[in-house]
Amino acid sequence: MENNEILKKYAALAVKVGVNIQKGQTLILNSPIECAHFARMISETAFEEGAKDVVINWNDEISSKIRYMKAPEEIFDVVPEWQKEFYTSYAREGAAFLSISASDPEVMKDVNPERIARFQKSRRSALKEYSDRLMSNKNTWSIVSVPTEAWSKKVFPGVSTEEAIEKMWNSIFKIVKVDKEDPVAAWEEHKNTLEKNMKILNDYNFKYLYYKNSIGTDLKIELPKGHLWLGGADKTQDGIEFIANMPTEEVFTLPLKTGVNGIVVSSKPLNCNGNLVENFSLTFKDGKIVDFKAEKGYDSLKHLIETDEGSHYLGEVALVPHDSPISNSNIVFFNTLYDENASCHLAIGKAYPVCIKNSDHMSEEELEKAGVNISLVHDDFMIGTADLEITGVTYDDREIPVFRNGNWAF
């Protein structure tokens, strides 16, 4: 077991900087049972910081797998009313939501992907109000990771379980800056660096971005009028700052729903609900995915894309330099929270409404009119490479290098 001092520092970072818990606020914590030790530390810190209550949702991926394998078909179309009520009512009363993301990347390998897709769709429909609130920063939320046995062994094969977990802890501590003397100050500095590039991109107000690299990506993305680049800290409408992903290395915005054309090739495996999708490509016409290929995990990708109308379109454009801490670690984590922050990425599905100006006052129909994609899913996939070139085109037709050789050109 890692020494408790550094774990406590990590728990404090997640509670104070991640969700930035406020006095009298309730914290909902989603945790795998294997991460109980860390979850208890989170709970302790949250109460010490003045939380009114900490409610823990324990989950166990092996039990979920058993359910997917053995349960009768019809249960995958239903989500009990109380589960919907749980998330929705806590969200409405202004709770903070913290999730520990740590799963065996291939836990669902033997499960029929159709069952997973059916249940994910039912769950996402039932929890729509809750996830809409989080995606529009009405509640504070954050995701952090803690090593589990199966996940660590997949990332560090060929060493003992203890050694793999140890290596995983050390990587995580380094990447989320818990190894620093003052992690909170280190995050403050990091936020400022991201804000610098965010500001440059917002000032250019690009109309298009062109992507090109040697693995076959040749893509043109139109950005909607009024788009905003965001990065680092998020803010609720009441002005409470939080960091939705720890780590975060990205600056991101949304594409115009109908403005994506060309082909994009994946650069890292995608963990899609417990199945890996590898070496895949997507072809777009007027925003829509009109063709796709995958060397591995084709069915999982197909179910994701066919979830609803919006899952045939993109909802996020995110820029991460190739020369960045996670990417330089040369570790593939098979976990989107980590891999997406090592690589430029896009997301299939819903766009963050906060990426468009004045979204607070817009209905779902108005958002769609402004070019914001609406879907039940939002799944990031990685496309960044060491030779990726991105060129921005301004409204007065100037071509500005944004990325050269995988890194910021500014």
Where does this chain bind Zn ion (CB under 5 A)?
A: 250, 316, 318, 347, 380
**Least Å distance between CB 316 and Zn ion?**
5
Helix 81-92 / helix 128-135 crossing angle, nearest 10 deg:
30
**Least Å distance between CB 390 and Zn ion?**
15
Which C-beta is closer to Zn ion: that of 79 or that of 332?
Answer: 332
CA 187 to CA 289: how far, in whole Å? 37
Which C-beta is closer to Zn ion: that of 34 or that of 316?
Answer: 316
Q: Across-strand partners of 277?
A: 270
Closest among 234, 231, 273, 220 to 133, alpha carbons compared: 234
**Least Å distance between CB 317 and Zn ion?**
9
**Least Å distance between CB 179 and Zn ion?**
24
Q: Which amino acid is at 219?
A: L
**Least Å distance between CB 383 and Zn ion?**
12
Which C-beta is closer to Zn ion: that of 318 or that of 393?
Answer: 318
Closest among 19, 9, 16, 1 to 41, alpha carbons compared: 9
Which C-beta is closer to Zn ion: that of 118 or that of 378?
Answer: 378
**Least Å distance between CB 185 and Zn ion?**
25
CA 235 to CA 243: how far, in whole Å? 9
- E strand map for 145-207: none
| Cα R_g (the chain), whole angstroms | 20
Output DSSP code: residue 143.
Answer: E
| Cα 1 to the center of its chain, rounded Å | 28
**Least Å distance between CB 399 and Zn ion?**
25
Which C-beta is closer to Zn ion: that of 276 or that of 346?
Answer: 346
Which C-beta is closer to Zn ion: that of 234 or that of 316?
Answer: 316
**Least Å distance between CB 245 and Zn ion?**
7
Which C-beta is closer to Zn ion: that of 240 or that of 383?
Answer: 383
Which C-beta is closer to Zn ion: that of 150 or that of 318?
Answer: 318
**Least Å distance between CB 9 and Zn ion?**
26
Phi (first) and psi of residue 291, to 5 degrees: -160, 150
| Cα 65 to the center of its chain, rounded Å | 23
CA 247 to CA 13: how far, in whole Å? 11
Which C-beta is closer to Zn ion: that of 35 or that of 244?
Answer: 244
Phi (first) and psi of residue 212, to 5 degrees: -150, 135
Helix 4-13 / helix 161-175 crossing angle, nearest 10 deg:
40
Q: Across-strand partners of 57?
A: 30
Phi (first) and psi of residue 52, to 5 degrees: -75, -40
The length of the chain is 410
Query: Which three-class secondary structure state does DSSP give residue 349?
Result: strand
